[in-house]
Structure 1
Amino acid sequence: MSESETAVARAVLIHGPLSRRDLTARLGLSPASLTRLAKPLLERGLLIELDEVTDGSVGRPSRPLDIAPGLGTFAGVKITGDEIIAVGTDIRAESVAGDERPLSDHAPDAVLALVAATIRGLGLTDLRGVGVSVGGVVQGGVAVFAPFLDWIDVDVRATLEAELGVPVSVENDVVALAEAERWFGAGRGLDGFATITIGAGVGYGLVVAGEVVRTPDATTGTGGHIPLDPYGPVCSDGHRGCAQAMLSAGSITTQVSAALGRAVDYDETLRLAASDHPAARAVVDAAGTALGRFIALAANLSLQSAVVLSGEGIGLFRVAERAVRDALAAGRDAQAAPIDIHVDVSGFRAWARGAAAVAIQESMERMRLG
């Protein structure tokens, strides 16, 4: 399969079903070129033509192109410090199965054995590939540095491929989430957007011109150390008022616990702030202000006017929305486009589906090379 044929198949996979007219416009192809490229994909059974529809153009009705059903199943896994979240999908990354298992041992062999067992427990038939997302630096299938698991240089791909007997793709979790948001999430249909996640850590991803930005720094967590408040608390790396210090759930609950003289968890912190408890309200509003500054910086520097917010700590936005929007307005030029904020509360299964989406796309790339 040529690179051009792969581009056609990938566009239909992610955005389809698509009329030929829409597909030529999306890929910048002539109708004749699209017909030439689509023919072998139809003959191989990778694409199918749907029933004729009228798309408003002059001429005969078109037959939209869609990805063929029955092209195997895929699994996606999100590994956190506390649990394994797994989903089984079809080739369109639509969920067909799911499971979550608690994680009590961070030893690589124990974690990856549990990942393999969880995938087998999904009961998938004709498994074609597995995607695994891990928080931290990921290169070539290796978790070079995964701080929530205390991993250094763990070869996730080799271990799981030997265990499962299918190709395994390994990706940074925020990059995988950006794929999920672009393909089937809050960012579907947007040409570009920034993704900001808050929870145990702080993540930042970027989609430009319909593609997830992948650079050596895309997995290193640089967004977590953007300075947001010169008077804020200090993170574990010694940075005062950075995104990690201002927005991570652990930092927020530590500040509120110290103010109250007792331990509180994140959910209680947000409940107290919502009821205008002075200490909780002050900490949560400061975090909201920091989030608004982060959104403004992300939009200003990426030149994207849409932002997707996600992560297990994103309940902060609901409680501190006024502080978020005030800080965003203060950090944004009055002539700039309004920021379109999308809040994704779908949870970690969407992150796991993003890992499956990475595996699906790598499967298509193997078709091209093979």
Structure 2
Amino acid sequence: MTAPADGWLPLSAGERAVAIEVLVHGPLSRSEIARRLDLSAGSLTRLTKPLIESGLLVESADSAPGRTRQGRPSQPLDIVAESRFFAGFKITADRVYGVVTTLRSDIVARRDLPLATHDPDLVADLLGEMTDGFARDFPGLAGIGIGVGGSVEKRAVVGESAFLGWSDVPLAALVQERTSLPVVVENDAAALVEAESWFGAGRGLDRFVVLTIGAGIGYGLVLGGKRVAGAEDGLGAGRHWLVNPQGPLTPDGDRGSAVSLLTIRSIRYQLRAATGRDLTYEEILASAAAGEPMAARVVGEAARALGTLVAQIANFAMPQKILLAGEGVGLVDVAGPLVEETVLAGRHPRADPVDLETKVSDFHDWARGAAVLAIQVLVLGLTEA
């Protein structure tokens, strides 16, 4: 399921390292690439020749017009971003979100459709239909990435997804049968971490964390510039992260866990149990901002839980930055000062301030993350995180 994209041969480890540097940080001069990778000029020439011949790299015009050079001119190397396009999909419980990206993960098309069934074959049919539509507009479509909430095995089989009620679904094979394109499947949060690490908030950082709040709790850690993968990816660890032992018990998690305090479903459940009113998440946040006592209490508990969780992550992982993303980040707009106060209370007074960045995103950003996984696996041959 992870053959190289059409027209590109499998890359050696050295070729892959060069391609990644140019893809993420380019355009770069040969001397800069050699410095970054500690390569001799001869070794770099040997590694770049097949990349240029395959069309993955190109000698670009100098990106700094007007700058004078001494000695022999050297054209920087760059990726031809529009030489191939990739489809990325994010599957939620009731909708499929799709994007097309360039090799540099720039989104050039978006589409989403309702998901009327969770039957795997019918979901694959829908993904095939959306891919066909993208392929008509982008004939250079080279591969597909799919993000799913749940655990994924060998980037091909959805081992377990509570949102979809799936177990051991060979999603990559089902979609490849319908599209004749190589397919990569991954946990959606893991895909988002890869995209942010390469092209977003974590670009260039050695230690970086992505924390997502919304339908569930997602967590991803980058160390040494690489995502740390584990067998527990997508298994819902947030239900066991206790942030307030005296906190509420909900159907979605242990008492006082991150899931029971921070997920949208749990926040709505808490307010409904206390008042009998069934409000949307946005209505709850608005009520809290307006000073409605019960909504303010529920949102305040969530804010303290988030602050505690951020402090714990900062204390143990010591990241240079924590990115907070997901459809639940509106919590920070309403209760940001309380989140910050709780973070400070959970940190040593002399500890470095936590660089907490909040990203307002939608599910198309998660789909973009899946496309980045496809680029990593199908173009660069990265079989492991």
Contact 1:134 1:172 in 2 (8 A): yes
Shift of 1:35: 2.9
Change (3 A) 1:106 1:44: closer
Q: 2:85 aligns with which of 61, 70, 73?
A: 73
Shift of 1:61: 5.6
Is the partner of 1:276 in helix, strand or coil? coil
Task: Return the alpha-carbon distance in structure 2 between the equivalents of residues 208 and 18 of structure 1.
Answer: 24
Change (3 A) 1:280 1:11: same
Q: Specify the code of the residue in structure 2 equivalent to 1:136.
A: G
Residue 20, structure 1, aligned to residue 34, structure 2: no
Task: Return the alpha-carbon distance in structure 1 between the equivalents of residues 325 and 198 of structure 2.
Answer: 15
Residue 147, structure 1, aligned to residue 167, structure 2: no
Change (3 A) 1:242 1:129: same
Q: Specify the code of the residue in structure 2 equivalent to 1:210.
A: G
Higher mean C-alpha deviation, range 57-66 or range 167-176: 57-66
Q: 1:45 aligns with which of 37, 55, 64?
A: 55
Shift of 1:40: 2.4
Residue 131, structure 1, aligned to residue 145, structure 2: yes
Provide the identity percentage: 45
Partner of 1:182: 197
Q: 2:220 aligns with which of 205, 210, 219?
A: 205
Change (3 A) 1:220 1:173: same
Shift of 1:69: 4.3
Shift of 1:105: 1.1
Q: 1:246 aligns with which of 252, 261, 266?
A: 261
Higher mean C-alpha deviation, range 5-14 or range 15-24: 15-24
Contact 2:253 2:260 in 1 (8 A): no
The TM-score, its normalising length taken from structure 1, stands at: 0.93
The TM-score, its normalising length taken from structure 2, stands at: 0.90
Partner of 2:4: none
Task: Return the alpha-carbon distance in structure 1 between the equivalents of residues 249 and 203 of structure 2.
Answer: 36
Residue 362, structure 1, aligned to residue 372, structure 2: no
Shift of 1:257: 2.1
Is the partner of 1:42 in helix, strand or coil? helix
What does the per-residue CA deviation read over 1:185-234, in whole Å, with 9 as the maximum and x for residues that have no partner? 22233333111111111111112222122222233232442100011112
Task: Return the alpha-carbon distance in structure 1 between the equivalents of residues 231 and 70 of structure 2.
Answer: 47
Task: Return the alpha-carbon distance in structure 2 between the equivalents of residues 238 and 344 of structure 1.
Answer: 25
Contact 1:180 1:350 in 2 (8 A): no
Is the partner of 1:320 in helix, strand or coil? helix
Is the partner of 2:78 in helix, strand or coil? strand
Q: 2:111 aligns with which of 99, 104, 116?
A: 99
Higher mean C-alpha deviation, range 40-49 or range 130-139: 40-49
Task: Return the alpha-carbon distance in structure 1 between the equivalents of residues 81 and 267 of structure 2.
Answer: 46
Contact 1:205 1:213 in 2 (8 A): yes
Higher mean C-alpha deviation, range 205-214 or range 148-157: 205-214
Q: 1:297 aligns with which of 296, 299, 312?
A: 312
Contact 1:200 1:248 in 2 (8 A): yes
- Mark the runs of 5 or more structure 1 residues left unpaired by the alignment: none
Q: Write out aligned runs for 1:113-132 (5 A).
A: 113-122=125-134, 123=136, 124-132=138-146
Is the partner of 1:231 in helix, strand or coil? coil
Partner of 1:88: 100
Residue 109, structure 1, aligned to residue 124, structure 2: no
Contact 1:235 1:242 in 2 (8 A): no
Q: Specify the code of the residue in structure 1 equivalent to 2:341.
A: D
Contact 1:17 1:66 in 2 (8 A): yes
* Superposition misfits of 4+ residues, deviation over 6 angstroms: 54-59
Q: Specify the code of the residue in structure 2 equivalent to 1:148.
A: F
